[in-house]
Amino acid sequence: MATKFRFLEWQVYRDSKDLFSDVLRIVNKLPREYRFDLGGQIVRSGFSIMLNIAEGSGKATDKDFNHYLDISLGSLYELVASLDILRDNKIITEKEFQSLFNKSSTISGQLGGFKKKLRNSS
């Protein structure tokens, strides 16, 4: 039985929410001088991953949905780049980076799988 908000059932959406929770914890630990600009950008990119999965799931065509998955994937890459910068500047630990990187890598694979499935169904 299909649900109106089908994205709520998807593992990629749940994993993205989990990653976002971790992102919020990291941002809350940022030094005050970085929290607004850098922290805000990291929160926006993490939030965008989830929101584009959700928004795309409601589109009428696979082509439209694929576009939102591309945006979500782009936001994921932006997030990983931001986390890499935090690691290089010793704002997060290598362990924190690796945990977030591994979650991001899983989500990237899930989004790629969705995109492949959409291509194959066209």
Return the pLDDT at 89: 94
Domain map (residue ranges) of the chain: 9-121
Return the pLDDT at 48: 98
pTM of the model: 0.92
Buried-exposed string 42-55: b where 16+ CB fall within 10 A, e elsewhere: bbebbbbbbbbbbb
* Residue-level length of the chain: 122
Closest by Cα among 76, 80, 73, 75 to 101: 80
Q: How far apart are CA 24 and CA 119, in angstroms?
A: 34
Q: How confident is the model at residue 62 (pLDDT cuts 50, 70, 90)?
A: confident
Return the pLDDT at 3: 74
- The answer on pLDDT for 1 being more than 50 is no
- DSSP 3-state of 67: helix
Neighbours of 94 (CB within 10 A): 10
Return the pLDDT at 119: 83
- Helices 40-57 & 62-88, crossing angle to 10 degrees? 160
Q: For 8-45, how does the pLDDT look when each residue is reduced to its tens digit (9 = 90+)?
A: 999 999 999 999 999 999 999 999 998 889 999 999 99
Return the pLDDT at 70: 97
HSE-up (13 A, CA, CB side) for residue 7: 19
Closest by Cα among 47, 49, 62 to 110: 49
- Please name the fold of domain 9-121: de novo design (two linked rop proteins) (1.20.1440)
